[in-house]
Amino acid sequence: MAEGHSHSHGRDANARQLGIALALTGTLMIVEVVYGLLSGSLALLSDAGHMLTDVAALALSLFAIRMGRRPADRKRTFGYRRTEILAAALNAGALFAIGVYILFEAYRRLNEPVDVQTTPMLIVATLGLIVNLISARVLVGGSEGSLNMKSAYLEVMGDLLGSVAVIIGALLIRFTGLTWIDPVLGAAIGLWVLPRTWTLLKASVNVLMEGVPDGLDLDALRAAIAGLPGVVEVHDLHVWSVTSGEHSLTVHAVSAAPLPALNAQVTGIAEAFGVEHVTVQLEAPGFHAGQHGEVHP
């Protein structure tokens, strides 16, 4: 019960953080789109375009948290918490696409330079830096334990770096007149974004595919269970995540004389590996093969 309250409290805090970041980012996005078009800056336009995806991403993350609060029902026996993982995967995919587009546009701008007005760039980018610093500070607390929050935090950090790049670019262009600086900085933003979003996308897909949680040593877990007194075989060991930080395990343990405490011992080992929800099936030797004809890993 305590764990349930903890997860609920964490989701409430995350929702508040996302709401604040969404309001700040949405306001700034409108300003950046307008001034990006007026100034002709690729760095500012790429930052504004990236921020447009941020607004959608933050809104999607907030929606996912609210959906995740819905209790389990007859159709969704695990509840709706995995909605947050779907949101993280969608956000990561969109951000990856934006990163690729920025690189493509930077290449085009290098071959076809355009005039850049530095004053609007400096004004809007400075405002953007302030807003992104606040949003990043608000979101950082929830980014460690949730892929959904991590995707939102990564979106904001990309914008923060974008604002820094725009400021640097505007100053350099003003004093040197070298307009190629703008697309180069835009490309730098894209190169920063791509590997991080790829990592986040892989982590999200791993949860959706019910892969072993990152950082969990399945072989060590299997060996620990197999090493318990009375256990002669371990099979059908499955470990997966319902959502970020909520891991589940099912396992069949074969024992010639199953002890009453064996179930609790297996559960204790699983919990030591960070698994919260454990289901153990104790079997006599030959039971599984006799029933199903095949023993799974």
Strand order of the β-sheet with 231-243 is 231-243, 246-255, 277-283
Confidence check: pLDDT of 2 > 50: no
CA-CA distance, 1 to 5, in Å (whole number)? 6
pTM of the model: 0.73
Q: Report pLDDT digits (tens) over 126-171.
A: 888 898 898 888 887 766 667 878 888 887 887 788 888 888 888 9
Q: Report pLDDT digits (tens) over 69-86.
A: 888 888 888 888 888 888
With contact defined as beta carbons under 8 Å apart, do 295 and 268 qualify? Answer: no
CA-CA distance, 81 to 90, in Å (whole number)? 15
238: β partners: 250
pLDDT score recorded for residue 268: 94
With contact defined as beta carbons under 8 Å apart, do 61 and 135 qualify? Answer: no
Domains of the chain: 8-209 (1.20.1510.10), 218-283 (3.30.70.1350)
Where would I find the H helices in the chain? 2-39, 42-68, 83-111, 118-139, 147-176, 181-208, 218-226, 262-272, 287-292
CA-CA distance, 122 to 171, in Å (whole number)? 8
Closest-CA residue to 139 (of 126, 128, 150, 125) = 150
Model confidence at 220, in pLDDT bands (50, 70, 90)? very high
Model confidence at 296, in pLDDT bands (50, 70, 90)? low
Query: Angle, to 10 degrees, between the axis of helix 42-68 and the axis of helix 2-39?
Result: 160
- Residue 267's identity, in one-letter code, is T
